[in-house]
Amino acid sequence: MKVIIVDDDGLIRDSLKLLIDLEADMEVIGTAKNGMEAFELCKVEHPDIVLMDIRMPIMDGVLGTKLIKESFQHIKVVMLTTFKDDEYIREAIINGAEGYILKNQSSDSIIDSLRTVFKGNAVFEKDIINSITGMLKEEKKNKPSSFGLSEREFETLALIAEGMSNKEIAEKLFLGEGTVRNYITNILEKLSLRDRTQLAIFYLKNF
């Protein structure tokens, strides 16, 4: 897993680099001080994941995310910040971020989040999810039927947006894992989406 770290604080960049490079399956291939540097670095290094701060000079993480996702859809972006500002959260997700986590969590949690996103799942802390859900519900009031989704498919989609695995969804809805996989396949086809990350972002934008 190739990672780029983006933060205007040199101490944080160095600390995160040391942390990530200790993992056998991860490598920091570059660091940047702002969103523009991150975008330029992605052109050269083609990372798997960009771990991106939000508030930075010259270009913040939200705009940096927008540029990266517009040009490199395969690159996943995880926002790592001290801020839980609703507007930042909203813009980060709309611009394609696959995760939004806070700097005050443990180092193990940060590493786990990177692995989760690398596997194609979205990662948002519980309080972040609550903020997103409440905020976007005020703006988006689409019905599942508007997209051809059944009630069960919609429930499955909502749990994917919470970052649940197929096993967790099956236990929550009292279904078999094979049934959950079938629901997910149907949802992907109906919404013309590619993977779980896109499903999570679709849910957060539309419901």
User: Residue 167 and residue 11: Cα distance in Å, rounded?
Assistant: 39
- pLDDT value at residue 5: 98
Percentage of residues in the chain having pLDDT higher than 90? 61
- Dump pLDDT digits (tens) for 18-45: 999 999 999 999 999 999 999 999 999 9
Burial class (CB in 10 A: 0-12, 13-18, 19+), 182: middle
List the beta strands (DSSP E) in the chain. Answer: 2-6, 27-32, 49-52, 76-81, 99-102, 123-124
Contact between 69 and 96 under an 8 Å Cβ cutoff? The reply is yes
Q: Give the model's confidence band at 207: pLDDT under 50 very low, under 70 low, under 90 confident, else very high.
A: confident
pTM, whole model, 2 decimals?
0.69
- Dump pLDDT digits (tens) for 179-193: 999 999 999 999 998
Task: Return phi, psi of residue 76, to 5°.
Answer: -95, 140
- pLDDT value at residue 3: 98
Where exactly are the structural domains of the chain? 2-134, 141-206
Domain at 2-134: CATH code: 3.40.50.2300
Q: Give the model's confidence band at 91: pLDDT under 50 very low, under 70 low, under 90 confident, else very high.
A: confident
**In CATH, which of 1.10.287.3240, 3.40.50.12500, 1.10.10.10, 3.10.129.10 is domain 141-206?**
1.10.10.10
- pLDDT at residue 171 is higher than 60: yes
- Dump pLDDT digits (tens) for 145-167: 889 999 999 999 999 988 889 99
Contact between 96 and 65 under an 8 Å Cβ cutoff? The reply is yes
**Strand-pair partners of 32:** 6
